[in-house]
Structure 1
Amino acid sequence: MEFEFRHRDYTAEEKAYSLPRLPAESHPLSKSSHQVDLGHKEKDETDILDPLREVNEKKEATLEVFQDEEINLTGAQGPSSEDPLELHSKEWTSFKKILMQRFPVSKRISLSSISNAIMKTVKVKDKSPVDTHLEELDDPQKFTEEGLKVISQKEYVARLHELKDEISHSWRNNDRVTSLKLSIKVARLLMDTSVVEFYPTLFVLAVDVMDMLGDLVWERIRQKAEYSEDGTFICSLPENFEASNICDRAKETCNNWFSKIGSIRELLPRIYLEVAILPCWCFLINNPLSSLQRLVMMTRGIADPLASAYCQLYMVHRAQKLRQHDVGYLITGINDLKILMMRILSMPETTRKISLADGRLLVSLMEPPIEYMMRCIFKDLNQVSDILMGLGLGKDRSHLFGDRPCISIILHHLLKELPTGVICSNAVDILHLIECNFDFSYDQFLNYKLLGHRLCESVSQVNEANALVDKVIQVISCYDSLYEYLEVLDAYVDIGLQNQMDIHLNSILNEIFERVCAKEIDESALSGLQSFLLKLLTHFDDLKDILSMNRFVDILDVMHGSSRNLINLSILRMATRNSCIQDPTIIHFLFEVSQALHDGTDFSNIRNDENQHSALLISRFVNMVDYGLDFERKLSFLVDCRGAFGGLSELKETLVHSSNILTIKALKDGSNHITFAKSCLTFSEVTIPAIPSGLKQLNLYIETAEVALLGGLISHADGLVESALCYLQDFDLVDGLRVPDSIEASLSLICKLCSLMILLPGNLEQGFLYGPKKIFSFLDSQSWMTSKLKIRVLSALISMSAALSQNVIPFQLIHGKVIGSKKLIFGDPTCLEEFLSFSGAIVQKIVDIVLQEPSQASRGNLALEGCNSIASSFKVCPEVLTICSKLVEIAELSLSSDNRYLVSTKNFLKTRQLCFREDGHRHKYMTG
């Protein structure tokens, strides 16, 4: 084939194809350029069509739609619109589930004589002779009294479910006496507190039976009120009916049930059964709440404090069914529990019947009833002052919190439920109240901590904030435990930092450091320290303020694990907010922080979001370090980073980019830095192979080669391009399985490499086409290379050859520094012939690829792409026209006639043919 490259006048082409440009009289986003006539809207300076504002308005509208949808899903007025009884039912179900999870029990349970009475249908397993003998030796009296019957938890639960089914079955068979007797038997179980850890679970299982019986009785009496004895419908009771609406027959049945339950001999079962049918008082009296105070008084006859507490808990649960709210019985109940707990807590160690550990366990088991009752007291908020007076805390309405003692655990749950405004207005008084209550029912520091968290709900409303912070710091300074110190401190940090707590920070950090040095820091204290330091870092804007604090760095050094990593991440995030980091002290500190983060993170799993964030922040820090004109120091820093962060492959890419930027800065600064530029390039050349991603390697080889050419460092540029070409030969081995994005990126980089080889002087020993031929051979060695990609690379090779044939290349090197290939081969017919021969092989390869493409649609597009490339690069001659016509014919057979790419290619080819004929006529005229 005889080809000849088309002559290109790049300057003329730029003028011909550039769009006309006109100076703008005003900014395109200014008000004047956006005032348009909106028809029905009045023109106004603020009423403009701003594309940026339009986007925001769309987003806001979308958010409004989302909020509307959320309202539709949750109810017009949110959760509060839900029926109170349904809401209570959900809360109670959740409470029971948490209660059972909070006090898990062992798999086997010892049965007392009470519980053993209901287990006749279950095969009770005796303990092994060895265990029995050992326990008999330890406590012969206990062994004799209890008989040591044991049962698995699963069997116990199964028996209770059987009893529940028997009660339901008897009720359906109209045997209500049996249902009542079995219910009494279940209620008697709640008298057994021999295995205290099991009692909450027993309570949950037993009250499910009580609830079922209570609902069955309610439904029976309601039917009696709505239907006559012969089944005739009388009326439908309204939701809030009165006792006067109930017929005598229904009232008689209701009274009969209360009488039957009142005849139960044992107090606890009698109370539970009456509480179970408590809502039935609505059929008899209009104010059923009046019976609650009587029931509370009855619970005072229950000797066991645990049984008494849970009996009151069940009473509160069933009282919610009455749809009336009265805190009187709740306050009485809390006060009664306070008396029971005071007996436990005030018992002298010499006369105490239970150990301190058992006492703590008993108190913790009594906590859920106190928590639930306190929540119900403040459910429908009445006068807080009346409640506090009723609980014995206030002297009068003006002094809500006095010096009267209170049980710590009751105070804790009171603080949980009090309105934020009340707490903020009386913070110092409450602080004093906590100080006065010191018992083992609840750790005192937890109440200090809770108060701090509640105050943080509305920091601006806190009265006497400075006095409060001073008092808290005085209190915690007496704590030996670092954990307790940090737990309380952390709760008041936000309040203190907004009220000149800065003056205390140095002394606080000193005290923390002293406690850290005294004992090894454990995980719980480490978590508190992490929270405290994170709040400090959030409060200050400048890292210098942090470093100026005493002992901050020393405390940071003793931290370890994930807590240390989180602090380090926060420090790096804070330091990299600005544009650059220049202070040598801060650079050194951040380098150590980054090194600790690097050493404490497993970067082998870089896909982990947290690991990615760590790598990003370290890379960002390295990139932001700026030593000004001290280029040597910056390069030394990059070398240190490469050694310190060896496990962070992503950072190596940043190091190469930073080194290349440093090279350009040095070259711009003056010619005296050429030696330093070589050192930077050497650093990049050594670093690039350590990057695992082959695609990134190829990109960095090309980038660094461009930087080398910018400084006229030909040997470095040539070596880098050679490395890039060698990389292409092992492309599959380096990158493995390819994905579409990386394939497109690889294609772009190969095309860029072709452009770069236009500037290089070329390889005098192996020939000017050494690089292009390597790329040409590379195409057939890659299984992932599609026909489309091959055509594009071949087109790039043709364009590169055509550019080298021109008198002037489309871009220039720095004048006088590099003699490019164009000057070396200009006017050399041998080189030009070699380029034409190579291009002829490429053209033939394009045709072969098009013909071998199995997909008809793809074949047509490939033919058009090849045709455009050939027609653009070569002068139109018979050989070129023949090939182009053949490719167009293939496209016409493969694509529709109105295909836009096909139509534009045919028009372009006609233009090229017209030019060929004009050139032919002109040549004939001149020679004739």
Structure 2
Amino acid sequence: MGLEFRRRDYRAEEQSHSLPRVPAESHPLSAPAPRPCPSPSPSTCQVSLLDDGKDDFFDPLRSVNGKMELSANILQHEDIKSDKTVPKEIYAQSQQKEWNSFTKILMQRFPVSKTISISLVASKDMKGSKANEKSSKDSHLEELDDPQKFAEDVKVISQREYVSRLLELKDEIKLAWHADDRVTSLRLSIKVARLLMDTTTVQFYPNLFVLATDIMDLLGDLVWNRIKKRAEFNEDGRFICYLPDNFEAADICYDAKETCNNWFCKIGSVRELLPRIYLELSMLHCWRFLLDHPMDSLQRLVMMIRGIADPLVSAYCRLYLVRCAQRLPQRDTGYLIHCINDLKVQLLRLISARESTSGNFSGNSILLLSLIEPTIEYIIKCLFKDLNQMEIRSMLEALGMRRNQSDSFENCSCISIILHHILKELPLGFLCSNSFEMLHLIECTDDFSFEQCLNYKLLGFRLCERIPEVSNVDLIVEKIVQVISSYNCLDAYLKVVDAYLDIIFENQFETYLNGILDGIFHGAQEDEIGENELASLQSIFLKLLTHFANIEKILALNHFIDILDVMYGSSRNTINMHILSVATRNGCVQDPTVIEVLFEISQALCDGVDFLNIRKDDYQHPAHLISRFVYMVDYGPEVEQHLTFLTECRAAFGSMSVLQETLIHSSNNLAVKSIRDGNNNINFIKSCLAFNEVTIPSIHTHRRQLNLYLETAEVALLGGFVSHSDVLIDAAVNCLRNVEADDGLLVPGDVDGITSLICKLCGIMVMVPGSLEQGVACIPKLVLSILDSQSWMLPRLKIKVSCAIISLSAGLTQNPLPYHASSSEVMGNDKLFFGVPAYPQELLSFSAVILQKIVNIVLEESSMAVRGKLALEACNSIASSFTMSDEMLGVSSKLLEIAKSCLSADDKYLRLTLKLLHME
């Protein structure tokens, strides 16, 4: 073929195709300066007008100084959420949902074994109704009169059997009720209530309570619906009236009241105290049919519960009382105060006789307290709901936590477990304004029911939610420092420190910090570091790292590294990662001492990661942090020391492929820095190149090796080391040959990346002196032969590489070349082969082979649209590389015919290509 490469002036072409540039005075997307806009136009005011009334989108580029203002709608929405006026139906649904959530958590909180022990009395009550028909009424009453003789022994049954029997009893109650057998329903309900007297297996009692009270609620709802129906319909089923939600006792007819009285009389005839209380509580809301103020009966029920001696049974009975009272329309807190005070009395007895509690709880007070705690939590939550500041003060006074309005908290005391849940429920505003007094209250409350340090911790974390509002903050910090100094337990010390550390930082009390760290260090030397201590240490260290932005200040803190060394496991890894993140956040790391410490931290992090069992995503984060640290290290002019550091990193972190790549990038940076500084340290640059040549083969995939070989080859050319660049390019071509052996099938992203690297190789080859023995096209020929044998090379990729090689061939024939290596030691091919006729002929012959294949490659593409684009891409490459002889016009015409058959006549790319070839 009569081929001839085009002569090109690349600089002139660049100037002719470049767009004119005008410096911008401000960012084009920034908000315009405020100015009068009497007649809004799209050019000046459209942005502002489009945003009016829209609160769901915020564009930071349109705000002033990057600050976003809260919309009025959002604030109004917050006010709506805080409105206490809620419809009764919604309030009832919310209460029921809250109770269901509470009971679900309660059952999960106290799991029990597969078998449980129950008393013989409970075992008899678990039997079906038919099994009890043989017993006479008198013998049954005798059994009720003397239940102790039946409780001497216990029976072991499975938990599943127990629950199944309770569900059967529930079904029997519903069946009897719908069969108009109310007596049987009541009798079975009494059996269920009697089960709540059995505390043989205390761990099962919360689960029993939930299951039994569910049946109690069922009975209460059945009775309510029956009475309500009697109030709305007469005996003949004729409609009388409709009862609204806020009905009064005067609205109820005589028959409905009689039915209601009858039920309460039946309950009153139950001889056992506990079943009688539970049954009346289940029907508590039915008092509305008789009284306008049914809350009045609660005080009587509170007094009745005082007759229950068992602390666990009485606590859960009070819980059910509070739950049932929440269903009444009126709101009152008097009964709640009595419940808490009664619980306090029982807990005081339990605390005073910790090891000699009677009954089933002898020597097991801690377990008993853990079982009672949920009842305290729920009652206190109901007690402090929707109270204002004055009501809270009165409430605390009624609970014995304040003598009167003039007394302070310090002369009062409370039970620790009760105080804990009060602190949890008190509003933040009240806590912040009375924080110092609450500290005194915690100080005066120290018993085994709850660890005192946990109350200090809770108060601290709650105060941290509104640090600016905390009063007497200096006295608080001083008091906390006194408290922790008296602790001999490291766990308690750390928990309290963790809770108040944000307050210390926010108010710039760093003078206390070194003393606190001294205490942690000495405590860590004496106490064993467990999981609790690790969690607290991790939180404390994270707060230190967040507060101090400078890594030098962090490492200068008392015993910082010493305390870090006692940590282990995931907590140590987490802190190490945060230290590396802080160290590399603000630029280069230059202090040799800091570099040494961070290197040791990186080693500890690397050793703490289980590379065999860790997921890839989990591994990447610590590996990238270590890599970033290594990359950010800067020894300044001491480049030899820096290279030594990289060598140490290669030995220490050989298992991290990501880090090995960072080492190569850093080594190349050092070489480039040395070249640009004009040090002419040839041996050092060769050392960097040799470091890379040894390190690159340790990279796991040939795709990544290919990129690194090409990068290092560029550095070698920059320094004028042609022999090194030849070796590196040969290694890159060898990687290309083995790239498919890495992971089997390649994903599209990998294939595109490899194609881009091949194009990069073609760009580098413009600067590489050709071989006088092997010819200037030996490397491109080898690349093309390798790609022809690769199954992953799709037609579109083959076209892209072929066009790149054609452009390379055309570029190598230019005089001067499009660009040269910066080093004068590298002779360009325009000088090396100047006047050699075989040089352009070799490139033309090689290009002719490619041109013969291009049309067939394009036809291999199955997609018509893609085939048309490939034809145009090849056509444009030919037009820019060769002069348009008859032969070249023939090849271009074939490609254009393919494009026309695949693309629309209005396709812009097609029309521009035709215009380029003057065929339109």
Whether these two folds match at TM > 0.5 is yes
> Pick from 713, 717, 734: which aligns with 1:705?
713
1:611-633 Cα shifts (integer Å, max 9, x gaps): 32222221221111111111111
CA distance in 1, matches of 2:292, 2:649: 81
1:394-448 Cα shifts (integer Å, max 9, x gaps): 1111325242332221121121112223323333332222222222222222222
SS at match of 1:111: strand
- Kindly indicate whether the alpha-carbon contact (under 8 Å) linking 1:35 and 1:47 is maintained by their aligned counterparts in 2: no
Residue 901 of structure 1: CA displacement? 2.8
- Kindly indicate whether the alpha-carbon contact (under 8 Å) linking 1:37 and 1:43 is maintained by their aligned counterparts in 2: no
Q: Could you state the TM-score of these two structures normalised by the residue count of structure 1?
A: 0.90
- Kindly indicate whether the alpha-carbon contact (under 8 Å) linking 2:855 and 2:894 is maintained by their aligned counterparts in 1: no
Deviates more, 1:869-878 or 1:599-608: 599-608
* C-alpha distance 26-544 of structure 1, shift in aligned 2 (>3 A): closer
1:611-670 Cα shifts (integer Å, max 9, x gaps): 322222212211111111111111111111111121211112211111111111111112
Alignment correspondent of 1:449: 457
CA distance in 2, matches of 1:95, 1:27: 55
Alignment correspondent of 1:795: 803
* C-alpha distance 302-23 of structure 1, shift in aligned 2 (>3 A): closer
Task: Give runs of aligned pairs for residues 217-366 of structure 1, distance below 5 A.
Answer: 217-347=223-353, 349=355, 357-366=363-372
SS at match of 1:756: helix
CA distance in 2, matches of 1:890, 1:47: 47
Alignment correspondent of 1:769: 777
> Pick from 779, 802, 810: which aligns with 2:787?
779
Alignment correspondent of 2:114: 107
Deviates more, 1:35-44 or 1:888-897: 35-44
Alignment correspondent of 1:922: none
Residue 61 of structure 1: CA displacement? 14
Alignment correspondent of 2:537: 529
- Kindly indicate whether the alpha-carbon contact (under 8 Å) linking 1:803 and 1:809 is maintained by their aligned counterparts in 2: yes
Residue 361 of structure 1: CA displacement? 1.4
Alignment correspondent of 1:923: none
- Kindly indicate whether the alpha-carbon contact (under 8 Å) linking 1:568 and 1:594 is maintained by their aligned counterparts in 2: yes
Alignment correspondent of 1:468: 476
- Kindly indicate whether the alpha-carbon contact (under 8 Å) linking 2:803 and 2:877 is maintained by their aligned counterparts in 1: yes
1:868-922 Cα shifts (integer Å, max 9, x gaps): 22232222222222222233233333433333333322222237x9xxxxxxxxx
2:495 partner letter: E
CA distance in 2, matches of 1:631, 1:766: 38
Alignment correspondent of 1:658: 666
Task: Give runs of aligned pairs for residues 630-649 of structure 1, distance below 5 A.
Answer: 630-649=638-657
1:643 partner letter: A
Alignment correspondent of 1:917: none
Residue 675 of structure 1: CA displacement? 1.8
- Kindly indicate whether the alpha-carbon contact (under 8 Å) linking 1:409 and 1:442 is maintained by their aligned counterparts in 2: yes
- Kindly indicate whether the alpha-carbon contact (under 8 Å) linking 2:868 and 2:899 is maintained by their aligned counterparts in 1: yes
Deviates more, 1:244-253 or 1:437-446: 437-446
CA distance in 1, matches of 2:658, 2:123: 69
> Pick from 622, 646, 649: which aligns with 1:614?
622
1:653 partner letter: E
Alignment correspondent of 2:448: 440
Residue 854 of structure 1: CA displacement? 4.5
* C-alpha distance 519-737 of structure 1, shift in aligned 2 (>3 A): same
* 1:200 matched to 2:212: no
Deviates more, 1:275-284 or 1:647-656: 647-656
Task: Give runs of aligned pairs for residues 868-887 of structure 1, distance below 5 A.
Answer: 868-887=876-895
Deviates more, 1:640-649 or 1:211-220: 640-649
CA distance in 2, matches of 1:545, 1:825: 61
* C-alpha distance 37-857 of structure 1, shift in aligned 2 (>3 A): same
1:481 partner letter: C
Deviates more, 1:604-613 or 1:24-33: 24-33
CA distance in 2, matches of 1:605, 1:872: 54
* C-alpha distance 228-400 of structure 1, shift in aligned 2 (>3 A): farther
2:94 partner letter: L
Alignment correspondent of 2:423: 415
Alignment correspondent of 1:18: 18
* 1:491 matched to 2:512: no
2:107 partner letter: M
Residue 112 of structure 1: CA displacement? 0.8
- Kindly indicate whether the alpha-carbon contact (under 8 Å) linking 1:761 and 1:819 is maintained by their aligned counterparts in 2: yes
Alignment correspondent of 1:190: 196
1:196-247 Cα shifts (integer Å, max 9, x gaps): 1111111111111110010111111111111122111111111111111111
Alignment correspondent of 2:519: 511
CA distance in 2, matches of 1:198, 1:372: 19
Q: Could you state the TM-score of these two structures normalised by the residue count of structure 2?
A: 0.91
Residue 48 of structure 1: CA displacement? 8.2
Deviates more, 1:451-460 or 1:74-83: 74-83
CA distance in 2, matches of 1:54, 1:453: 35
- Kindly indicate whether the alpha-carbon contact (under 8 Å) linking 1:36 and 1:48 is maintained by their aligned counterparts in 2: no
CA distance in 2, matches of 1:565, 1:489: 22
* 1:690 matched to 2:695: no
Residue 113 of structure 1: CA displacement? 2.4
* C-alpha distance 80-793 of structure 1, shift in aligned 2 (>3 A): farther
Residue 36 of structure 1: CA displacement? 11
* C-alpha distance 693-270 of structure 1, shift in aligned 2 (>3 A): same
Alignment correspondent of 2:141: none
Unaligned stretches of 5+ residues in structure 2: 52-56, 132-147
* C-alpha distance 34-22 of structure 1, shift in aligned 2 (>3 A): farther
CA distance in 2, matches of 1:769, 1:144: 104
Deviates more, 1:77-86 or 1:712-721: 77-86
- Kindly indicate whether the alpha-carbon contact (under 8 Å) linking 2:30 and 2:61 is maintained by their aligned counterparts in 1: no
1:861 partner letter: K
- Kindly indicate whether the alpha-carbon contact (under 8 Å) linking 1:119 and 1:159 is maintained by their aligned counterparts in 2: yes
- Kindly indicate whether the alpha-carbon contact (under 8 Å) linking 2:200 and 2:360 is maintained by their aligned counterparts in 1: no
SS at match of 2:395: helix
Residue 747 of structure 1: CA displacement? 1.3
SS at match of 2:125: coil
Alignment correspondent of 1:901: 909
* 1:96 matched to 2:131: no
* C-alpha distance 305-894 of structure 1, shift in aligned 2 (>3 A): closer
SS at match of 2:636: coil
* 1:867 matched to 2:878: no
* C-alpha distance 32-237 of structure 1, shift in aligned 2 (>3 A): closer
Alignment correspondent of 2:578: 570
> How many residues are matched?
894
Residue 353 of structure 1: CA displacement? 6.6
SS at match of 2:586: coil
1:96 partner letter: T
> Pick from 588, 596, 613: which aligns with 1:588?
596
* C-alpha distance 356-785 of structure 1, shift in aligned 2 (>3 A): same
Over the matched positions of the two proteins, sequence identity in percent amounts to 55
Residue 672 of structure 1: CA displacement? 2.8
CA distance in 1, matches of 2:118, 2:812: 99
Alignment correspondent of 2:142: none
1:5 partner letter: F
Alignment correspondent of 2:178: 172
CA distance in 1, matches of 2:599, 2:814: 52
* 1:4 matched to 2:9: no
Deviates more, 1:504-513 or 1:293-302: 504-513
CA distance in 1, matches of 2:23, 2:516: 64
Task: Give runs of aligned pairs for residues 47-58 of structure 1, distance below 5 A.
Answer: 56=61
- Kindly indicate whether the alpha-carbon contact (under 8 Å) linking 2:864 and 2:902 is maintained by their aligned counterparts in 1: yes
CA distance in 2, matches of 1:79, 1:849: 76
Task: Give runs of aligned pairs for residues 818-897 of structure 1, distance below 5 A.
Answer: 818-897=826-905
Residue 306 of structure 1: CA displacement? 1.3
* C-alpha distance 276-266 of structure 1, shift in aligned 2 (>3 A): same
Residue 697 of structure 1: CA displacement? 1.7
2:113 partner letter: S
* 1:150 matched to 2:152: no
